[in-house]
Structure 1
Amino acid sequence: MPRRARFVVPDVPVHLVQRGHNKRPCFFNHGDCEFYLHWLEILAKDSSCQVHAFVLMTNHVHFAITPHEHDSLPQLMKSLHQRYAGYINKKYDRSGTLWGGRYRLCIIFDGAYLLTCMRYIELNPVRAGMVQHPRDYRWSSYRVNAEGAQSSFVEPHPLYLSLGENEADRLRNYRQFVAATPDDEVTDTLRRATRSNCIVGDPAGDPALPIPGRKGRPHK
């Protein structure tokens, strides 16, 4: 059976998941995570992608990310994961596949799903029982989006910016959103769409908010 074609729409955010081969670990210590994020920052900018949320789990990664060109996302993921696999193979004297095939994604046309996606991503370590609160997990964007920690590559989407007129209001409102009981139906829709490389929302309708970079380049 042919694989479902993946496509992206410039300036429209996506939820992306990439797992380790056979769900095996792909991050083994803090240094591995630091190496991955260092190159994510460099290559996301080179590829015209904006990262809004992320988490590095032991055997997979999640992003909420907006590509600004048709080839932005495949260019980023190919460069990043080839470089990282080479680093891991050399560091641990291993060979073979690190990543479990192609990444999966869903395109988020409905703005209501974007914040849900960010919450879903940043709560991964809590659902996995690794920490009790998302702030306690070092390798995610929660501290940036919820507590104002500085990041050189996590960039806010207009929907996130609409949470308040100033930073303090946005941070407080986002913390409250993350702490609220998730809508199971919305979360399940997001999961199914990501597994199937599908769309959430209506492409023919108006997005909930203007999408960043309408002219095809990231906002600075």
Structure 2
Amino acid sequence: MARQARLVLAGQPHHVLQRGHNRQPVFMDDADRQAYLDALREATRLHGVLVHGYVLMPNHIHLLVTPHEADGLARAMQTLGRRYVAGFNRRHGRCGTLWEGRFRTTLIEAPLFYAAALQYIEQHPQRAGLVDTAADYAWSSAAHHLGQRRDPLIAEHAAHWALGNTPFERELRWRHALAEPLAPDLLSQLRRHVHGGWPLLSPARASQLAQQLDRPMSARPVGRPRLHSVPN
């Protein structure tokens, strides 16, 4: 079966996941991590993509972004991949691919699922046992949203501005959010969608887009369809 094209809509937030080939490390040291962020900043600026949140894990990355144009996200990721992988291979005396095939992307309905997606991303190192709290991880956007440092890569989404009228109010609200784990059902839902590449939408928005774009908004059930008994 042909692979369905990514669903990317201009002006809407998207959760991006990209993993290392065979789950191999994509960062060897902090110099690699900084090089990736530098390349990400340049690629997104060049192709009109706003970065709202990110986390750099040892063998994969998560981004929360909004492209100005539908094809801007793919172009930005292609530019990022070329620049980062070339530098990584040069530094470490290697050649060949670094990433596992295509990056995955999930359209996120804002504001409904925006905060949960950002929380999922910034709490990832804590869930993985790399740090005690999300704020302790140096290579994510958490410190920026908590007011610990200013990250020039980050462009706040309107859904984040809605957390409070002042930076102090927004930082305090976000500190409380990161201090609490995501509800298990919501965490499971986020994982399914980001790994499956299906949009995370309300039923009403999913139905609207399915009709408008003439494409499914969720995976079909696996296996044979159920046989329904014929009424007497």
CA distance in 2, matches of 1:177, 1:134: 10
* Structure 1: segments with no counterpart, 5+ residues: 207-220
CA shift in 2, pair 1:77/1:195, >3 Å: same
Structure-2-length-normalised TM-score: 0.85
| 2-structure distance, mates of 1:112, 1:185 | 15
Q: Offset at 1:160? A: 0.6
Note the alpha carbon deviations across 1:9-64, whole angstroms, 9 max, x for none.
00000111000000000100010011110111111111111111100011000001
Taking the aligned partners of 2:168 and 2:184, their CA distance within structure 1 comes to: 28
Q: Distance in 1 between matches of 2:135 and 2:108?
A: 25
Q: Which residue of 2 aligns with 1:176?
A: 176
Q: Distance in 2 between matches of 1:149 and 1:98?
A: 30
Residue of structure 2 equivalent to 1:138: 138
Greater relative contact order structure (CA < 8 Å, 6+ sep): 1
TM-score (normalizing by structure 1):
0.89
Hey, what's the Cα distance between the residues in 2 that align with 1:183 and 1:136? 22
Q: What aligned pairs does 1:31-50 form with structure 2 within 5 A after superposition?
A: 31-50=31-50
Amino acid at match of 2:193: A
Q: Output the aligned Cα RMSD.
A: 1.6
Matched position secondary structure for 1:79: helix
Structure 1 residues 112, 183: CA separation in 2 closer, same or farther (over 3 Å shift)? Answer: farther
Secondary structure in 2 aligned to 1:50? strand
Query: Cα deviations across residues 163-219 of structure 1 (Å, max 9, x unaligned)?
Result: 10100000000111111231222222221111221111148649xxxxxxxxxxxxx
**What does residue 129 of structure 2 align with?**
129
Task: Quote the sequence identity (%).
Answer: 34
Which consecutive unaligned segments of at least 5 residues does structure 2 have?
Answer: 207-232
For this pair of structures, how many residues does the alignment match?
Answer: 206
Matched residue, 1:197: 197
| Larger Rg belongs to | 2
